[in-house]
Amino acid sequence: MPALACWLVLLLTIAAPQPTQKGEEEIDAQTLARGVVANELHARQEDHTRWMYVVHNEEPGKKEIQAVIDTGNWLLYRTLSRNNQPLSEDQQRREDKRIEELVHDSGQQHDESRKYQQDMHRALEMLRMLPEAFLFQSVGKEGPYVRLSFQPNPSFHPTTRAARVSRAISGTMLVDRAQKRLVELDGAITCDVKFGAGILGIIKKGGSFAVKQTEVGPGHWALTLIDIQIRGKVLLFHTIGEQQRQTFSNFRRLPQNVALAQAAEMLKEHARSASLNPLKTP
């Protein structure tokens, strides 16, 4: 998954506090948060399920639909359309060539894997710091879910650039209390974040983000929405822009032993099917 969004999701996979006596809620919530974070870390390290899915990506001046396969080391994708138009034959040939070169070039594979692993490392580091970086409070139930608010912990002192952003984030999230999983998240950048007194970059007050995820298979949760609208000059990760909306759908579980060449052929077949049924393109 895209890593900035990944840490935003990891940020808030925390269950609602259990009822406690007055004055004990904060301690109970933080203790519970540490336990859930430990569970989430374990799940992300142990769940190696492979998926194929479709991404609708919108950035300023550009719209794309892509079919994606999680290879286990990075995300292999094939573009299906751009700006609401199917790819021309020439563009499809270019996609064929790009993917074929990647499948047969171990150097490119290494680069893609390195970027992916770097982003995931940052995301997991953000997850580990959460119980210290934020304060959580239950603000009400919504059917089987619980709505939580979150705000920076004034006692937390970040030591990395990515961690500093947490000092400027507040918002709410909706969680599945039974499974202790995130359903929806809405947050905002509440103050400017400057790096190197603004010389190295700045994230401006007023930005926002929204994340949704759902259970796509028994015990398997996945992103269905990432909406990042951040103004500034800083990109913290390789895989996400400052203004980007992505929706994820049509999840299909794949065998664990799918080879890279097979994955490439699956994407090509999906593109062929989409071109024959343009009105049904997911």
* Cα separation, 229 vs 252, whole angstroms: 29
Query: For position 174, what pLDDT does the model report?
Result: 77
HEC assignment per residue over 121-156: HHHHHHHHHHHHHEEEEEEEEECCEEEEEEEECCCC
Give me the phi and psi of 81, to 5 degrees please.
Answer: -155, 160
Q: Are strands 62-70 and 75-82 parallel, antiparallel or unpaired?
A: antiparallel
Please answer whether residues 137 and 29 qualify as being in contact, where contact means their C-beta atoms are separated by less than 8 angstroms: yes
- Residue 43 token pair: 């799940």
Please answer whether residues 112 and 102 qualify as being in contact, where contact means their C-beta atoms are separated by less than 8 angstroms: yes
- Residue 248 token pair: 């994820």
Query: For position 235, what pLDDT does the model report?
Result: 54
Cα separation values, 70 from 50, 66, 74, 112, 254, Å: 6, 13, 6, 12, 9
* Cα separation, 176 vs 103, whole angstroms: 39
* pLDDT per position as a tens digit, 55-87: 999 999 999 999 999 988 889 999 999 999 999
Residue 136, judged by CB atoms within 10 A of its CB (0-12, 13-18, 19+), counts as buried
Give the amino acid at 203: I
- Residue 193 token pair: 């974040």
Residue that has been written with the tokens 């024959």 in this structure = 276
Query: For position 190, what pLDDT does the model report?
Result: 86
Question: What is the Cβ-side half-sphere exposure of residue 167, based on CA atoms within 13 angstroms?
Answer: 16
* Cα separation, 58 vs 43, whole angstroms: 30
Domain boundaries, the chain: 3-280
Query: For position 179, what pLDDT does the model report?
Result: 76
Query: For position 185, what pLDDT does the model report?
Result: 81
Residue 141, judged by CB atoms within 10 A of its CB (0-12, 13-18, 19+), counts as exposed
**How many CB atoms are closer than 10 A to CB 101?**
10
Query: For position 141, what pLDDT does the model report?
Result: 80
* pLDDT per position as a tens digit, 164-206: 778 888 888 777 777 777 788 888 988 877 766 655 677 778 8
Please answer whether residues 216 and 222 qualify as being in contact, where contact means their C-beta atoms are separated by less than 8 angstroms: yes
Give me the phi and psi of 104, to 5 degrees please.
Answer: -105, 5
Query: For position 278, what pLDDT does the model report?
Result: 52
Alpha helices (H) in the chain, listed in sequence order? 3-11, 25-46, 89-104, 106-133, 161-165, 260-276
Q: What SS3 class is residue 256?
A: coil
Query: Which pTM was predicted?
Result: 0.78
Query: Is residue 71 within a helix (H) or strand (E), and if so which, with residue range?
Result: none
Reading the chain (282 residues) residue by residue, the pLDDT tens digits are: 444 444 444 444 333 333 333 443 433 456 656 666 776 677 777 778 899 999 999 999 999 999 999 988 889 999 999 999 999 999 999 999 999 999 999 999 999 999 888 887 877 777 777 778 888 887 778 888 777 788 898 998 887 766 777 888 888 877 777 777 778 888 898 887 776 665 567 777 888 989 898 889 888 878 899 998 887 765 555 455 578 999 999 999 999 889 999 999 999 999 988 776 654 544
Cα separation values, 229 from 83, 119, 186, 223, 240, Å: 20, 19, 12, 17, 11
